Amino acid sequence: MAAKDARASTPPLIERRSIDYIPEAERHGRLFSQFTLWMGANLQITAIVTGALAVVLGGDVFWSLIGLLIGQLLGGGVMALHAAQGPRLGLPQMISSRVQFGVYGAAIPIVLVCLMYLGFTATGTVLSGQALGQLFGVSDSVGILIFASVIVLVTVLGYRVIHFIGRVASVIGVIAFVYLFSRLMSQTDIGALLQIRHFSWSSFLLAVSLAASWQIAFGPYVADYSRYLPSKTSSVKTFLAAGAGSVIGAQVAMILGVFAAAMSNGQFAGHEVAYIVGLGGTGATAALLYFSIAFGKVTISTLNSYGSFMCIATIVSGFRGRLEVTRLQRLVFVLVIVGTATLIALLGQHSFLGAFKSFILFLLAFFTPWSAINLVDYYCITRDRYDVPALADPNGRYGRWNPLGISVYVFGVLVQLPFISTKFYTGPLVAALGDVDISWIIGLVLPAALYYVCAKKWHGAVPEHLILPTEQGATPTTSGLVAQA
């Protein structure tokens, strides 16, 4: 028992686990670290830009703030439900998709998740490159390369370092945002901006969609950062810790973005970082703000890169029939991921804002159906009774391909198409709805309802209780597994 406690209390600096199950003896961390990690991940420049889009694209301050808050709560609820799965299963989020899609079939949504991470990492790297360029007096491109090098290092070190940086980023973020808000209030008549109220359904729902998509996009990897918590950690407390950190952090950042865009007289778009820093002052103060912006992006960009590594490893391991990934493979995966994102950032750094808006909204068509299926299956059908060893066995309980999950997922994507409104694609019903994009609502509700009805009738055999891999010191069964309720 003493050895077990020692292992749990002094986890290694470099993470040795990858996508495999985390044994109880290696569980560590506190719920508060979930709160600080997700607050730090959201108190950053991209969230500011996302909030600003609600005004840049036609909304007023008052209704944009309300729409963003509603979107945070709705999307944050979905995100936090995924977070609560981590301690119970001890697995990365996308591995559990094999229950709904099959060991091979889970690659379908995972490939799209990888594209999402690349997009977020690339867009975040653009803004960080701008901040580091200003801080060190170099070009934005050089700043992008400096930032990418830091992300590679932190991602390779893994879980423990990521949580440490999250705690530091949350402290730096709070200090920077308090200062920026105080400067903004001294320069702007906030009351006058709030008095301008021109309600428009399209602008209001755009604000809701921006915030909801921001939160839902965390769903595919949020459990990656809660899976080291002890298995007996309360699901409700995990839900509240991760959800509150993400919602509060994102809403604070987006509020700043809304006010900054409203008072910018059109100077915000294309100069996001410089404009935000300009609110705080010049000289040493500006240098500190540039540093806080770059450091704030380290957390979320590392989460994206780490999540990409998890996804690629999940795809590869599914076809190999093994969950283990060596440290060398991990390094290669991370270098490829960050290298690709950096190349995208370098090529697209001069057309950021409009492309980002289209990207973040279009993502909803692919991730809301996945969230709906995963959450309905976990909370309503299997009720967390997973066969964890079978997740690595294409010939096991979950099979290679799950036609039910895949079919509902495809339906969930297709049913949204008439309601999507982005630069990439605009559905035929958007104009009739006053140019309002409600695709994410359709993509959550209809696939969830369809999967629930179909799974009740055609779902495969569900274990009587959660089956975990044999842990050291456990009594082996004839199958080599230990069943644990």
Q: Which domain holds residue 116?
A: 23-367
Is residue 449 one of the residues assigned to a domain? no
Is residue 57 one of the residues assigned to a domain? yes
140-157 and 159-187 helices cross at what angle (nearest 10)? 140
Is residue 18 one of the residues assigned to a domain? no
CATH code (residue 294): 1.10.4160.10
- Rounded to whole angstroms, how far apart are CA atoms 169 and 43? 8
- Rounded to whole angstroms, how far apart are CA atoms 281 and 184? 11
Is residue 385 one of the residues assigned to a domain? no
Q: Which of 10-24, 66-80, 91-105, 410-424 has the highest mean pLDDT?
A: 66-80
- The residue among 216, 220, 237, 300 whose CA lies nearest residue 88 is 237
Amino acid code (one letter) for 69: L
In terms of Cβ atoms closer than 10 Å to its own Cβ (0-12, 13-18, 19+), residue 271 is middle
- State mean pLDDT over 163-173: 82
pTM: 0.83
Phi first, then psi, for residue 469 (nearest 5°) are: -65, 155
- Rounded to whole angstroms, how far apart are CA atoms 50 and 258? 9
Is residue 482 one of the residues assigned to a domain? no
Is residue 425 one of the residues assigned to a domain? no
State the CB neighbour count (10 A cutoff) for residue 141: 14
Q: Which of 105-109, 180-184, 390-394, 469-473 has the lowest mean pLDDT?
A: 469-473
Q: Which of 95-109, 210-224, 233-247, 299-313 has the highest mean pLDDT?
A: 233-247
At residue 18, the pLDDT reads 67
State the CB neighbour count (10 A cutoff) for residue 218: 29
Is residue 283 one of the residues assigned to a domain? yes
State the CB neighbour count (10 A cutoff) for residue 158: 23
Is residue 262 one of the residues assigned to a domain? yes
Tally of domains in the chain = 1
Q: Which two tokens stand for residue 8?
A: 């749990």
Phi first, then psi, for residue 6 (nearest 5°) are: -65, -40
CA distances from 112 to 103, 152, 217, 434 (A): 16, 22, 11, 29
Phi first, then psi, for residue 387 (nearest 5°) are: -100, 90
Q: In sequence order, which ranges of 321-351 are alpha helices (DSSP H)?
A: 327-348
In terms of Cβ atoms closer than 10 Å to its own Cβ (0-12, 13-18, 19+), residue 409 is buried
Query: Which residue did the predictor score with more confidence, 334 or 233?
Result: 233
